[in-house]
Amino acid sequence: MRVHIKFITYILLGAILTAFVFLVLLLCIISDWEPISVRVQRVFEQKSNAPYKPKLNKFSITEMMGSTSVIDVVKPDEKTVILEPTMPFLKGGKSKRPFAVIMVTSLARFFNQRQAIRSTWYKWAHDLNIRIFFMIGHTGQNPILQNLEEEQRIHDDLIIDNFEEGYYKLPAKILRMVKWFNTTYLPENSPRYLIKTDHDVFINLLNLVNILRETPYYSNLVSLSGQNNSKLLLPDSVNIPFDSSDVESYFVGGQKFAKPEVEVDPDSKWYMDSKEREMLGWSGPYLPTYLNGPCYIISGNVVGTIYEASFNVPIFPFEDVYLIGLVAYDRLSLAISDIGQQMWLDKSYYCLVKNRTILQRMVAFHPLDHPSSMVKVCRRLPTCKRQMSSSSTSNNRNCNLLASIAKNA
């Protein structure tokens, strides 16, 4: 009899333990559920979106980059843009300059990522006098260009430039982006800020604008002589052409890396041997101070100077190190401001979506590798959720057309 009781007890304990494990798994699935088809697509796109890492024993990074001459790569005297927005200003013409322009780097095939941005944090932009554009490289007669043309007809927010995409060619892409900004906006109607980001980044525009308008950040702006400047840069102030004698203040900011050590792991995508670094004009155990690439901010009055200064600095394969570290910081001695404590960059997405306090406080979140992640973050923010739910009738009319584009992308 005792044997039977012990046996039954073991069965009951096993059943209780099994039920507990099942309940925990069920709660995990419910809290982070997504259709199997979406999950499979996300895994596929994560793999296809992963930066290409060449075998360095076969191809050097400089070989992968192509030319290291900015003049050769950027072609400053040529119009290289294939498609561009018909209205880069706010409604009302050139007199209605945007407070900020956000340039989102994207790849032609990642239509769904662009749509996720358009349906989430993009919707804040109009009320905040911000324009958002997607920067894409394209070469040859690829059939996907037809899809991009149709996408442009609907949204008018693509900048398609004639260059070849590649991880180690990203500096060239950023320079083409800066070139477009510099030639589109003259000093008298230049946006107050140029913000560079990527299509796997969520930006809380409300927090971003609040930071850019807060006095402590403006009081940290310094003049070219290195002295603190008490004059505030307000969004409606007149933009001044950059000149060391008359520009009083500027801003270059993001998540700051102060003189980080160079990568020494040969298997890392950021590794360069010392000979290659010396060829590109940088040697030693440390990199220059720079800003983390997923999101950084440059005031409009220094964009042109950074662009022109780059002509004399060989292209370095990592765009954030190159544009901010080698050109802005090392060549021009511009001060770099750190607002990294309000940027959730290169951290766990799962910790992010579980912590509403972090979500509401941060400016930028990265990486969000799948469109569903972008939407999930938005739904956790009440202000973004309301914007997302207020879809316009025109967007609904375009649903079938956009679905067709996504299918063919």
Residue 56 — very low, low, confident or very high, per pLDDT cuts 50/70/90?
very low
Which range has highest mean pLDDT (14-23, 279-288, 323-332, 400-409)? 323-332
* Average pLDDT of span 165-178: 92
pLDDT over 60 (residue 392): no
Segment 177-195 mean pLDDT = 93
Q: Do 105 and 197 form a contact (C-beta atoms < 8 A)?
A: yes
Q: Give the pTM.
A: 0.75
Residue 384: predicted pLDDT: 87
Beta-bridged to residue 189, according to DSSP, are none
Structure confidence at residue 357 (pLDDT): 82
Closest CA to 384 of 198, 127, 129, 113: 127
Higher pLDDT, 365 or 232: 365
Which stretch of 56-65, 124-133, 159-168, 178-187 has the lowest confidence by average pLDDT?
Answer: 56-65
pLDDT of res. 186: 87
- Quickly state the pLDDT bin for 139 (edges 50, 70, 90): confident
Q: Is the pLDDT of residue 82 over 60?
A: yes
Report the percentage of the chain scoring pLDDT > 90.
Answer: 43
Q: Which residue has the higher pLDDT, 95 or 166?
A: 166
| Alpha carbon of residue 54 to chain centroid | 23
* Averaged confidence pLDDT in the chain: 77
pLDDT recorded at residue 238: 28
Q: How confident is the model at residue 108 (pLDDT cuts 50, 70, 90)?
A: very high
Higher pLDDT, 409 or 213: 213
Per the model's pLDDT, the better-predicted residue between 387 and 148 turns out to be 148
Could you tell me the domains of the chain? 67-254+292-408 (3.90.550.50)
- pLDDT > 90? residue 396: no
